[in-house]
Structure 1
Amino acid sequence: MKALGNFLVVVVVLAEISMFLTETDNNSLKFVAGLNKLLSNSDKIIHDYCDDERISCNNDSQISSVTLYNIEPSAFPIGITVIIDTLNELMITWANLKGNIPNEIYNLKKLQYLDLRENKINGSLKSNIKNIDELNYLNLYESNLSESIPMTYIH
């Protein structure tokens, strides 16, 4: 009886681990599905996203880097917050993005590298940029910001 009880505990623990891994993987899949809705058919990310040259994944097949160069999404991928815990690098350059930097960017706490150069981003950089503790590279060159970046925003 004790062996059966121990076996059931092991089964429950394995089921919980499996659900966690599936949920984490689903976050990457959700992001890719949302991003693909913004891309033209020829620019869509392949189903096995870790094999796509524009996506880098960590050892757990979770998205850690997104690089979109000279691809014009119809809007900024605001669904990016579903990969908030794994995304380290985001580069969307020469993408003709318009408008303000979306609030979702300021929630990417693990982001280390942010490159949005050569877009048509306007408005100003919010002070929330300071909340991205790990950010050590920021490139907004030729982004048409209405104000210069205050030095107090820089770590």
Structure 2
Amino acid sequence: MMGMQNELINQLEILIEKNVKAADEANVLGKLLQEENWIEAEERQLGLQRELAGLQNEYHVLKTIIGEDNTLRSLQKTWTPAENAFIDERKKMLLEKESLLRVTVSENQIRTEMQLAFSEHMVDVITGHHAETQAENNMMINETF
């Protein structure tokens, strides 16, 4: 049974490391978005997508180690508290890293959406197509036809 536990621990450590790398990539992407450095941001976005694809593969490996019919929790019921302590520590660390990655990606998404909304507003202002102007134009068109 110890072989499976070592395999699990190694896989959890790989997942922790990959989550950290993906979060770092997302952080750099966020800074580039904030600086409006679009070309480098696009390259970093591709890098982040590669990191996330690699991360997904590692989760599949974890599921393979655990087995289709098991959960990590059900396996741990068969092990001693001492054996579980190290695995629990790794699981907790993995959850923290996953959470950090989620927050970073969400912040980037919000930042991007805000920049897009601002850009759309500026286009409307520059081209003179305010909502009121558009509504007036629509009324004139309706009255004409």
Provide the TM-score with structure 2 as the length reference.
Answer: 0.34
Structure of greater Rg: 2
Higher fraction of strand: 1
Provide the TM-score with structure 1 as the length reference.
Answer: 0.33
